[in-house]
């Protein structure tokens, strides 16, 4: 599937929030994310109705296995076949599968097996979908607008989280899980024609020629930013600006590259990049220290303090408002100066707020601290995401996003059972403090690594 091509990816264009092409992409992305939120509500409800709580938990968790195992391969697919084509195909498959299960539930009570199969399929497709989604903005807008697009994407995620739950609940109230699944499938379906209408920014002709060969593997092996499938030659000045360590090799060295070669090239590219390598480590440590306390840890803290479900809901709302404000700030400003330094400082400050959350005396104080955590975590996450988008070559973005997603969705959730077990032994205070230290180490890396600390957003 080919799309209309517009100016090369590095050419300056209009502001992203005024660009109809970007707004079509944003509408497609938002519709798909709301559909995802409704899907998870429908899946959890249907699983509880069809089986025991333990079986329902297994159905909800099973999608994480193929997602984690196949994420790196999904990044290769996104870079090889183009992010737009992969996202359209992924959304089409997800829509068809969800609507098929909705029809099955309307007609009969099939038990847990179709739900488990749907969850596995969703996780498998997500392994391809998520890297492609991360790589798509670089082909939709100019490089100087990628930071603003990252903020717009953050707002879309917050909107989906706010709207998806009530909409899924409405579907369940009207006609059970089948209706909720139908809502989810239709919302995902809306994204497909919108994505088809999105025009892609054309890479230079030399980039296309390099996409057919294996120069990326050679270039990455040399520690540089040699072209990969879909990426092309760039100037030495641009290589230096993006943290490369060596120029691209001569095209005479090009050789056919297999998917395994592309995966190795992507990993070597990240490892040899002076900004991306420490940025990945900072993101990993930040997520590991953040996920446990702000998920299972917060639930246990609310139970320990007697805040109840409503109190926990208010704390989570405070976090969501803070994170949304950070995304709005990046959307409005489009660029924040001293991005690397700002990311490091916000991670460190956010880690202090995470540690303090376990010691606040009341729900109101917890909401205020959670608002601060959300603002700082949202700011650091948005800036780190924008740096990732602007520092990586466009055709490496699928693999770069896959590595980042593997850390966030594969490794970081492991901290949740560890946090729960540790709280059972040592109480909430010490565990929150240790988590804050782990999170703060990510900020320390961002501040101590010179190239990352001095990294700037374009524009």
Q: For residues 459 and 19, what is the distance between their CA atoms, to the nearest angstrom?
A: 16
Round the average pLDDT of the chain to a whole number and report it: 81
Helix (H), strand (E) at residue 346: helix 339-357
Q: Is residue 201 classed as helix, strand or coil in its secondary structure?
A: strand
- Say what the pLDDT of residue 208 is: 41
pLDDT per position as a tens digit, 203-226: 544 344 344 344 333 333 333 333
For the four alpha carbons of 370, 372, 378 and 380, in that order, the dihedral sign comes to: negative
Q: Return all residues near 313 (Cβ < 8 A) that are at least 6 apart.
A: none
Contact in structure between 140 and 198 (CB atoms under 8 Å): yes
Contact in structure between 139 and 200 (CB atoms under 8 Å): yes
- Say what the pLDDT of residue 289 is: 81
Q: For residues 399 and 74, what is the distance between their CA atoms, to the nearest angstrom?
A: 8
Higher pLDDT among residues 26 and 17, named by residue: 26
Q: For residues 326 and 323, what is the distance between their CA atoms, to the nearest angstrom?
A: 5
Q: Is residue 90 classed as helix, strand or coil in its secondary structure?
A: helix
pLDDT per position as a tens digit, 312-327: 788 888 888 888 888 8
Q: Is the per-residue pLDDT at 201 higher than 80?
A: no
- Say what the pLDDT of residue 144 is: 84
Chain centre distance of CA 274: 22
pTM: 0.80
For every residue of 138-154, DSSP letters joined together read GGTS-GGGHHHHHHHHH
Contact in structure between 387 and 457 (CB atoms under 8 Å): yes
298: confidence class by pLDDT, cuts 50, 70, 90: confident
Higher pLDDT among residues 171 and 308, named by residue: 171
- Say what the pLDDT of residue 97 is: 92
> Which tokens belong to 34?
């709301």
- Say what the pLDDT of residue 247 is: 41
Mean pLDDT, residues 401-416 taken together: 77
Establish how many alpha carbons lie within 13 A of residue 231's alpha carbon, considering only the half-sphere containing its beta carbon: 32
Q: Is the per-residue pLDDT at 344 higher than 90?
A: yes
Termini Cα distance of the chain: 32
Q: For residues 164 and 55, what is the distance between their CA atoms, to the nearest angstrom?
A: 24
pLDDT per position as a tens digit, 227-240: 333 333 344 444 44
168-179 exposure pattern, b = at least 16 Cβ within 10 A, e = fewer: beebbeebbbbb
For the four alpha carbons of 254, 256, 259 and 260, in that order, the dihedral sign comes to: negative
Q: For residues 396 and 263, what is the distance between their CA atoms, to the nearest angstrom?
A: 10
């Amino acid at each position: 599937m080919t799309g209309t091509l517009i100016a090369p990816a590095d050419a300056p264009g209009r502001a992203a929030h005024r660009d109809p092409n970007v707004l079509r992409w944003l509408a497609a992305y938002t519709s798909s994310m709301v559909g995802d939120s409704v899907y998870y509500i429908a899946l959890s409800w249907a699983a509880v109705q069809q089986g025991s709580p333990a079986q329902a938990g297994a159905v909800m968790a099973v999608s994480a296995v193929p997602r984690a195992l196949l994420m790196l391969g999904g990044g290769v697919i996104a870079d090889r076949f183009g992010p737009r084509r992969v996202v359209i195909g992924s959304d089409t498959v997800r829509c068809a599968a969800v609507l098929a299960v909705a029809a099955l539930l309307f007609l009969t009570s099939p038990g847990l097996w179709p739900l488990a199969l749907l969850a596995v399929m969703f996780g498998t497709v997500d392994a391809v979908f998520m890297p492609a989604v991360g790589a798509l903005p670089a082909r939709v807008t100019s490089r100087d607008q990628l930071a603003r697009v990252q903020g717009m994407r953050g707002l879309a995620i917050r909107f989906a989280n706010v709207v998806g739950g009530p909409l899924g609940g409405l579907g369940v109230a009207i006609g059970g899980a089948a209706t909720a699944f139908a809502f989810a499938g239709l919302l995902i379906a809306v994204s497909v024609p919108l994505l088809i209408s999105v025009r892609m920014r054309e890479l230079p002709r030399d980039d296309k020629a390099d996409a057919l060969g294996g120069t990326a593997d050679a270039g990455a092996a040399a520690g540089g930013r040699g072209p990969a499938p879909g990426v092309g030659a760039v100037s030495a000045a641009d290589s230096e600006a993006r943290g490369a360590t060596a120029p691209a090799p001569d095209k005479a060295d090009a050789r056919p590259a297999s998917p395994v070669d592309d995966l190795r090239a992507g990993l070597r590219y990240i490892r040899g990049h002076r900004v991306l390598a420490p940025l990945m480590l900072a993101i990993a440590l930040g997520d590991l220290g953040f996920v446990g306390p702000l998920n299972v840890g917060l639930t246990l803290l609310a139970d320990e303090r007697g805040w109840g479900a409503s109190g926990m809901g208010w704390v989570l709302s405070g976090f969501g408002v803070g994170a949304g404000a950070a995304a709005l700030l990046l959307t409005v400003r489009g660029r924040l100066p001293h991005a690397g330094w700002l990311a490091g400082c916000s991670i460190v400050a956010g880690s202090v707020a995470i540690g303090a959350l376990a010691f606040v005396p009341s729900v109101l104080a917890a909401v205020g601290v959670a608002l601060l955590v959300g603002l700082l975590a949202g700011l650091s996450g948005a800036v780190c995401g924008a740096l990732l988008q602007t520092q990586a070559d466009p055709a490496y973005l699928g693999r770069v996003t896959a590595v980042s997603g593997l850390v966030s969705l594969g490794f970081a959730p492991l901290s949740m059972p560890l946090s729960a077990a540790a709280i059972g032994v040592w109480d909430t205070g010490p565990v929150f403090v240790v988590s804050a230290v782990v999170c703060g180490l990510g900020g320390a890396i961002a501040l101590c690594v010179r190239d990352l600390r001095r990294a700037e957003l374009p524009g």
